[in-house]
Structure 1
Amino acid sequence: MDNSSGDDKNIVHEGYVTLGERIRDLRMTKGLTQTQVAEGIITPSMMSQIETGKALPSYATIAAIARKLETPLSSLFEGLSFNKMQLLGYKLAMSHMAMGSYRSALPVLQELFEAEHLDDEIQLNELKLNLAICCRETKNFHEAIRLIMSLVDEYSRSSKRSDQHKLVHLHLHLSETFENNLMYFEALRSALNARDTYELQKNDPLLEGKILMHLADLNKRLHRFEEANAYYKQALEVCNQLTDNVEELGILYQRMAELQYAVGEPELCIDLANKAIGLLQEAGRITNYRETKRLIVMEQANKENWQDSIAVLLKMATMYAVEDPQKEAGLYLDVAQIYMMVQNFEECQVFCLKALGLLTDIEQQVLTKYDMTTKHERKQQENFLLIGRANLLMASVYLHRQEHGRVIHLLETAIPIFKQQVRLDELYTAASLLTKIVKNGEKNEQAWELITGCHDFLFVHLRRQGIL
């Protein structure tokens, strides 16, 4: 029969020493008061309740107290029966992850992962994967890749059906981690491993659709347009077999329309975009709906209707003015691109400068954020790409004006961005602008150096794709 009182929430098995008593002993050894230890963490009253065993603190509170006492968490817990504390900490970390606060979850998961003993309710491999996700989302890609690869190696040795299913997800996690680290070919290889492993079981159409979409997106990213189109079509076949898939279908049609826009198939692009618009509107995906509408406007813009196209784009930019300045800047660059098409270089420059003003402000905001998660990293990468695009358009303006020094200066900013993000079309355009300078007979070493760098980069990546 258990005669312990309800207040003894942190009693241990060895000598009936409580966690609170251990904290009190360490505090007194260091000559600190309860108020001094509690400062910045909890109230002195709560500190007193913890030491007397009347309150069980959260895992995060215990970690903070351990830091204040300059004591490793493992030493604080050594010899204690702290299963409840571990499980509480793990659940706390999961809630932080669910809210996107990966930096807050990371130290808790790290402590648990390094613990000598682990609560029976916490699965080690699940803990390891969640720790890897936190590492990835806080840009520690090397550690995330190491942890996931160790799990891949473990599950690859198992023939159990459930383990093979987990292995598919692990390959996808690894692919996403490589992608976030801009390692696109490594990401593609891991995605193909996910597909090959899935082919052995074929029991989850939703997972199959996710794999195919991911493969299509990566191939499109790498300018392997034929392969991307094939994967999108396969994904469409899978999605059409599912029910209640309006949102997924809408996004899929949007991606397919973007692909056709990239390869210069206007009729097919518009057809797919119209299908996407109806589905996205039904699903309430307003941002995707607007992006697809923008795609149609850009595809239909020509020298006869360019003024109407600009009017629509500027109206859309107004809608984004408050909620998403980055998309507003992107629309200004669309407008600048149309002005470039009709050779109105002055207006092209005006809208490039408007976009750059917004993008510079966004860049400063991103840099001041402490919690640089993958979401913020992705936003920063999108910002870089738009800055590169603005500089490329401005370079065309200054080339028209024969101001070659400014062209080179702008492309010196744009080209590294395009290389980092493997933007082959933009690199080819940049190289073409520079070639026009040297074809005029101008001996410019900077221009030649930039052209050579572009050509070398294009050659390497086209060869990796099997084109050369």
Structure 2
Amino acid sequence: MKATLGQKIRELRIRKGLTQSDLSAGLVTPSMISQIESDKANPSHNLLASIAEKLDTPIEYFLTDTETQMEKVSVYKIAKALMATKEYEKAIPMLLELEGNPSPHVSSIDVAYDIAECFLHTGHYMNATERFEAVLDSAMARNDNTIALLVLNQLGELSFLEKNYPIAIHYWKKAHEMIKKGQPAELYLHAKIVQNLGSVYYKLGEYTEALQYYRESNELLEGSHHFKQIGDIYLDLSFTYRDMGEFEKAAEYSQFALSIFQSLNNMKLTIDVKAKYGIVKGETGQLEEAVTILESCMNEYREIGCEREIGIVHSDIARILIQGAQGDSAYEHCEKALRYFEEGTLERAHVYRMKGQIESVRGDLEAATSLIQQAIDVYNSHQSFGELVKAYSLLGDIYKDKGQFKEAMECLENMNAAMEENLRERKIVI
């Protein structure tokens, strides 16, 4: 059953934490809002428009059905998933469609921010800047300071990328002043804004100001788990002191940075050993225990800022789950792993190969062929002959299942050629 106009207004009001008095203020009496929500009275178009504005909702929502709105929520989730896997070009048209046909269940400011972020990551800096500035205006008008701080940092980073350092300083200082005036900010974002100010002043050769901001950023992070960022700040401080001619202090901060990175390496080594233990557990058939250990390793890697290792563990879990015939769960971990690997890397190729294996078992041989071919392209570019042998073997089996025997034979020939190169590389044959 479709929701009535009154039910829609009531549901949105409650979701946004407003009372009937809050919604009626400046418009009508609270009792009139009560009657409208009970479907005992129909608002005029002007009143409905005012109610929609107070609920931060396009008036069209009250004239469309719930099913359409849920479809838009689904589209937004897909767009966010594409962004998570760095497929920004594919996400842009979906987000633009949502912007043109908004839904109350999807925040318009979030959609606008996501569009700007997609433009940033696809190198469309002018479009990104225009979009972020529009989001900033909207956030300021609504006193949404959390979004405003995020946008100010992004605008600063965009300006820095374009070497427009005075404008970068303007945005980062504005964010810094908002925080100093009492606007709460997530610790990492706060420290990043301050560190960015240090970086831009260092770039301009204004070392005294750079030192001031680096120290402030370091003080913010002391006692936190952002070890890598602390190490980066110490390194920045050492470069700044070196360029100021204060070599003793430069050496001191270099040593601090070295100690941090050495500690990180020692911590990482401990987690690496634990992860290998989890992998062995999985390879001996103890899947549940293996996944528990490896998920614990991911959390520990996250605490010390080892993002790439998180992706590798997702990849390891996927491989173990494939061996245990848990294809659906393995596929989920493959998708998560891809978020951590850049295009053209061997790690990404391994994930493509595993996804191809899963699609082959599912019976989607076309998807399997495409994925394994992507893996082969990367392996070829790296001259990774051992991995090419495995990939061509898989692809040949898929072609046989498809009845494409000519292509299967070509895969066999390529596999043999890769095997010979692999042996030659290992000095087994001349």
TM bucket normalised to smaller: 0.3 to 0.5
TM-score by length of 1: 0.41
Q: Larger relative CO (CA 8 A, sep 6+): 1 or 2?
A: 1
TM-score by length of 2: 0.44
